[in-house]
A and B are shown apart, each in its own frame.
Chain A
Amino acid sequence: MAQVLLKNITKRWGDFVGVDNQSLAVADKEFLVLLGPSGCGKTTTMRMIAGLEEPTSGEIWIGDHVVNDDLPKDRDVAMVFQNYGLYPHMTIYDNIAYPLKVRGTPKADIKPRVEKAAEQVELTEFLHRKPKALSGGQRQRVALARAIVRTPKVFLMDEPLSNLDAKLRVTMRAELKHLSRQLQITTVYVTHDQIEAMTLADRVAVMEKGVIRQLGTPDEIYNDPSNLFVAGFIGSPAMNLINGSVKDGYFITTGGTRLVKVDGGDRAKVILGVRAEDVDIHESGQGDIDVLVYAYENTGESVMLTLQFGKQRIIAKGDRHLRKDMDDVVGLRVNPDHLYLFDSETEERIRY
């Protein structure tokens, strides 16, 4: 049970900056997700917490100790790796028991604890097998069991679900969530999958180019993005981002279309952000403007319309019973209650 504290952490390899002077506090028992595209420094950040990577500068605290100079083994963390990092020459039992054995746990204690961990991830019947004889999902569970067999101060999970197939990922995600609620241990979880981040996290840190661009609850990250990167990264389909300006209380696209009412005074260069679900589709003539259907996609649970006016395209999510064809004309209205304005230069959110 411990909080994790990063103070002005920087990681540099020569001229390349992996993590740029970041600070982050993970509260005790919190589930924090580091989310970002590949190469954004999220895994590096986690590896520095684990002690597998040394920060160029800054302090790392676990509990009430600075752990910068501690070896991984002395940091009392447990880590789940992307490729699981199982020991192929050992049985599942020995894999799970390894952290206990190597830390000198009394022999009598090992067996019940391994069996309990195996039971928690439903692996009891596989204990005598080697990792080679297990499926991907089962191997993943071995890695989990190996992490939970001790009670470490912190769990570190590095894209633990990314090697599983889509269906299994959803199941394992639910199991992970259940497990983490049960265990109540501080967890840092790295992923590039925003669904994982949204569903698992207490708080999400969205990273880009070695910098945490926003730290907040999944709700805040989704509904109140503080800059253009977070707005564009979170959400599927990605938020519509439209270049233009604000004039006389309206947002005007670069192409000159008067799109939607926006308060807060005139502004020269802004980017308007609208989520696909906040773009309403009406019959032709009944919306604010008439637009052409550029593409129509039916995903089953909803329909996705790519709409075009001038050179501008905008994606709208419609009711799953909506049926349109290419080149149909429909009416479009942008819901004025859920708009985001960003400064084109600084890419920061303009709050009005």
Chain B
Amino acid sequence: MTGKQRKQFWNVIQITLILIAAFIMLIPIIWIFLAAFKTHVDVYQLKLFFTPTLENFGTVFDAPYNLGNKLINSTIVAGVTVLFAIPIATCAAYSFSRFRLRFETSMLVMILATQFVPAVVIILPFFVMFRDLGLLDTRLGLIMVNLAIVMPFAIWMIKGFIDGIPLETEEAAMVDGSTRVQVIRNIVLPMAAPGLFTAGIFCFIIAWNEFLFALILTNKDAVTLPIGLALFKAEEGDLWNLLSAAGIIIMLPMFILALIIRKYFVQGMTMGAVR
């Protein structure tokens, strides 16, 4: 074999290995994807070729499942969480990044430490608290919980992006005639935008997929999509075809967001290139 042939040979091997790995990881998703288009009878047969049906997607939105309500709940809860989390986290991150604060390190560690506590440990106090406040089974309650979950993450992530903006750029803007607020609006926010966007999407995904708190704190009105999946456990067994259809509806926004992130992620990482 010549050098070039050998290189090609290894390329083929590499690609094959990658494909195998990807295939293994994708099996569950492929299975769900196929099952979503099968009839209840076909699900239990590992058929790759079958007559696809869109019936499942219709059924999940009908009574008694009413997945539409859950979709609305999930969208509102995740959306509002991001809407509040990003501006608040940006303020916090900017302060941590640019000002010398008292107990700065301790505060940063404490913020992160809230993430170390297993959700199961604090879920009961939450339940009691929310019951007393009348926040059980409300979207507002879920939004508050999700905010608490995503904030530390958002603060740390956005702080990283703001740290990457050279201080000189801000100082230049101040000498050029800007107030601190103008510096933040004209310089920091545009430069950190890819970072804010990335953080926002990550927060949305976390809130969208949040399961445990939603499971305990909701039962009817504010049920979100992940909890809604439990509806498809019927007397005749698990309704895999409906479950799969609902699963795809949950995953779809994630796929779209992942594609958007990819573009911004690269932007975010090359942002500091101008010196």
Contact = CB atoms under 8 A, between A and B. Distances in A.
A233 to B, nearest CB: 27
A99 B168 contact: no
A102 interface: yes
Interface in B160-207: 166, 168-169, 171-179, 182, 186-187, 190-191
Given A85-B166, A85-B172, A102-B182, A132 B274 contact: yes
B191 A89 contact: yes
Contacts of B6: none
Interface stretch (A19-27, A75-83, A208-216, A269-277): A75-83
A151 B146 CA distance: 52
Interface string A138-159: 0100010010000000001000
Given A75-B175, A87-B169, 19 more contacts: A50-B171, A50-B175, A51-B174, A73-B176, A73-B178, A79-B171, A79-B172, A83-B275, A85-B166, A85-B172, A87-B172, A87-B186, A87-B191, A88-B274, A89-B191, A102-B173, A102-B176, A102-B178, A143-B172
Interface string A53-92: 0000000000000000001110101110111111111000
A273 to B, nearest CB: 39
16 contacts: A72-B171, A73-B175, A73-B178, A75-B175, A78-B176, A82-B168, A84-B168, A85-B166, A85-B172, A87-B187, A88-B169, A98-B176, A102-B176, A102-B178, A131-B274, A163-B275
A84 B166 CA distance: 10
Nearest to A99: B176
B15 interface: no
A98 B191 contact: no
A103 B177 contact: yes
A52 B169 CA distance: 12
Nearest to B172: A85
Interface residues of B, number: 21
B121 interface: no
Determine chain B's interface SS by DSSP, over half rule.
helix
Interface residues of A, number: 30
Interface string B255-275: 000000000000000010111
A19 B246 CA distance: 68
B174 A81 contact: no
Given A79-B175, A102-B182, A103-B177, A86 B169 contact: yes
A139 B172 CA distance: 14
A50 to B, nearest CB: 6
Contacts of B273: 88, 132
B191 A88 contact: yes
B168 A73 contact: no
B10 to A, nearest CB: 36
Interface of A: 50-52, 71-73, 75, 77-79, 81-89, 98-99, 102-103, 131-132, 139, 143, 146, 156, 163
A71 B174 CA distance: 8
B176 A146 contact: yes
- 4 closest A-B pairs (Cβ-Cβ)? A85-B172, A88-B274, A85-B168, A99-B176
Among B173, B174, B176, B271: residue with most chain A CB under 10 A: B176
Given A73-B177, A102-B182, A52 B271 contact: no
Contacts of A52: 171, 174-175
A79 B172 CA distance: 7
A220 to B, nearest CB: 31
B147 to A, nearest CB: 29
A98 B173 contact: yes
B175 A89 contact: no
A131 B179 CA distance: 23
A72 B176 CA distance: 8
A84 B190 CA distance: 18
Contact of B274 (A50, A86, A99, A103): A86
Interface in B60-119: none
Contacts of A50: 171, 175
Contact of A73 (B174, B190, B275): B174
Contacts of B176: 73, 78, 98-99, 102, 146
Contacts of A103: 177
- Most chain A CB atoms below 10 A, which of B174, B175, B186, B191: B175
Contact of B175 (A78, A83, A131): A78
B229 to A, nearest CB: 43
Given A73-B179, A88-B191, A102-B186, A83 B174 contact: no
Contacts of B173: 85, 87, 98, 102
A47 to B, nearest CB: 8
Contacts of A139: 274
A243 B265 CA distance: 62
A146 B168 CA distance: 14
A82 B196 CA distance: 28
Interface in B237-254: none
